[in-house]
Amino acid sequence: MRTVIRRLRSYVPEPQGPKMMTAVPGPQSVKLLKEIDQSQDTRACHFVTDMDNSSGNYLGDVDGNVYLDVFCQIASQPIGYNNPVLIEAAGTQLWRQMLVNRPALGNLPPKQWSKMLESFTSVAPAGCPQLFTAMCGTCANESAFKAAFMKYRRDKSGEPFTAEEQSSCMLNEAPGSPDLAILSFAGGFHGRLFGALSATRSKWIHKVHIPAFHWPVAPFPKLKYPLDNYANENQLEEKKCLDRVANIIKTWEKPVVGLIVEPIQAEGGDNHASPEFFRSLRQICYENNVTFIVDEVQTGVCATGTFWAHEQWELPIPPDIVTFSKKMQAAGFFHSPEFRPNQPYRNFNTWMGDPIRALQAQTIIKFIRDNNLQDQVKATGEYMMNNLHRLSEKYPISNVRGRGTFMAFDLTTPKIRDELMAKMRRSGVEIGGCGDRSIRLRPMLIFQESHADIFFSTLERAMKDLK
């Protein structure tokens, strides 16, 4: 029997709850993973999914198990598996055209492209009306770094490029290849490809044995929870980190051209800072002519209760660049006009994103608006936060934190955290971790109190088993 989420005007059919038929992974998953592993590494795989048996907030696997999904394809699934609105849109002639005839958007955009871009620009962050479309979150961040470097050199040396610049860059030497830096934070995650990896500081496994740029790292505030009980200590901690940022910018051996920061450090452990911290950080960048890049790859598209998490900072000076991906199902960055390159082909690639993903983003944004999902995330998030605090009084759950439904809590040790995730998965809840001992919650925007009740009842049973 199937039920529907009745608060949404566009119904999303889904099961009444999880259904577990086998161990996790089950025999069919094990079999298929062995087959996949002949060609591709499967050691990070949880199980093999069955999208024909997935709907709404529920993810099916090939063994007939059905999970309440609060990890959501690493925080990237926004409005439910097999959403009927997306399925209907995917059957249109425009989707078929873009799928069959994928264009090289930077050279040969289709006649519908300007209309397709309107959905992106309708949610553009304040101060960032321009758009660069890309393939993934890492691509977005690396392209943002390029935009910052190009603007810096244009402002310093002007135009046109000298003969020496043109020849020396082909040898990876100055002045054509200047020695410049991007500042990032300890615990930050900005991607696993070559350039972005030099700004990623979350886990050594991503970086070991990979050559890296000599770029600086600043401490990110380590706040104490509950925040209200440690206001003075946290304020001092944030000031210490801000002082360090200012010092690095002034004293680093090469010019610090850009600074990249996540509104919530996701992969690094769901680390938070106050709006005052980010306002001060923005001011430091402004005063030192450092490009301020906000990485909203994981926090963007309503997950924190506002469309962009950085809206909650109430910045007097907008960011220079805001990167996105994940729940947008498309990728790229918004930027202020001065970050448009001075010549064509400078920030460029063959596909410049994907028109199918742009159409998907268009449908997602409309669905969010039609169903008022931003307010729903706020209401569901408040309900979830209250329940997490309730459970933290009974079980060894600590450092409950979050905005909207973008939440996390800590367990006592990494081993206990991993055991709890395994128990939850065996009980029909797909879940993820971050940092050393944190569990992160990344439900879809259609997640409601009824789904939260299933999650918390499962969590409480699992916690009892751990005691």
Tens digit of each residue's pLDDT (9 = 90 or more) over 370-384: 999 999 999 999 999
Does the pLDDT of residue 3 top 50, yes or no?
no
Share of the chain above pLDDT 90, in %: 95
d(CA 201, CA 265): 10
| Element containing residue 233 per DSSP (H, E) | helix 231-251
Task: Choose the catalytic residue: 3, 92, 162, 350.
Answer: 350
- Alpha-carbon separation of residue 123 from 2, 60, 128, 298 (angstroms): 34, 32, 10, 16
The question of whether 189 is a catalytic residue gets the answer: yes
**Which 3 state secondary structure label does DSSP give 60?**
strand
The question of whether 413 is a catalytic residue gets the answer: no
Do the Cβ atoms of 420 and 439 come closer than 8 Å? yes
| Averaged pLDDT for residues 384-398 | 96
CA 34 and chain centroid, separation: 30
Q: Which two tokens stand for residue 298?
A: 């994981």
| Averaged pLDDT for residues 160-181 | 96
- Report pLDDT for 158: 80
> 410 has which bridge partners?
398, 438
Q: Which two tokens stand for residue 218?
A: 């600043």
d(CA 400, CA 282): 27
| Element containing residue 332 per DSSP (H, E) | strand 331-335
- Per DSSP, 24 falls in state S
- CA-wise closest residue to 92 among 77, 106, 112, 109: 112
| Averaged pLDDT for residues 100-104 | 97
**Residue 337 contacts by C-beta under 8 Å, 6 or more apart in sequence?**
129, 130
Q: How confident is the model at residue 467 (pLDDT cuts 50, 70, 90)?
A: low
Domain coordinates of the chain in residue numbers? 104-369
| Averaged pLDDT for residues 314-323 | 98
* Beta strands 432-434; 438-441: pairing state: antiparallel
- Report pLDDT for 2: 43
Order of strands across the sheet with 217-218? 130-134, 331-335, 321-324, 291-295, 256-261, 181-185, 217-218
| Averaged pLDDT for residues 414-440 | 97
- CA-wise closest residue to 403 among 285, 303, 278, 308: 303
Q: How confident is the model at residue 1 (pLDDT cuts 50, 70, 90)?
A: very low
Task: Choose the catalytic residue: 69, 270, 295, 320.
Answer: 295
Task: Choose the catalytic residue: 145, 185, 189, 339.
Answer: 189
Does the pLDDT of residue 79 top 60, yes or no?
yes
d(CA 98, CA 184): 37
| Averaged pLDDT for residues 295-313 | 98
Q: Within 13 Å, how many C-alpha atoms sit on residue 170's CB side?
A: 4
Sheet strands (E) in 368-459: 398-403, 406-410, 429-430, 432-434, 438-441
Sheet strands (E) in 102-180: 130-134
Q: Which CATH class is domain 104-369?
A: alpha beta
| Averaged pLDDT for residues 126-131 | 98
Do the Cβ atoms of 101 and 87 come closer than 8 Å? no
Task: Choose the catalytic residue: 151, 270, 326, 410.
Answer: 326
d(CA 286, CA 290): 6
| Averaged pLDDT for residues 349-358 | 96
Does the pLDDT of residue 438 top 80, yes or no?
yes
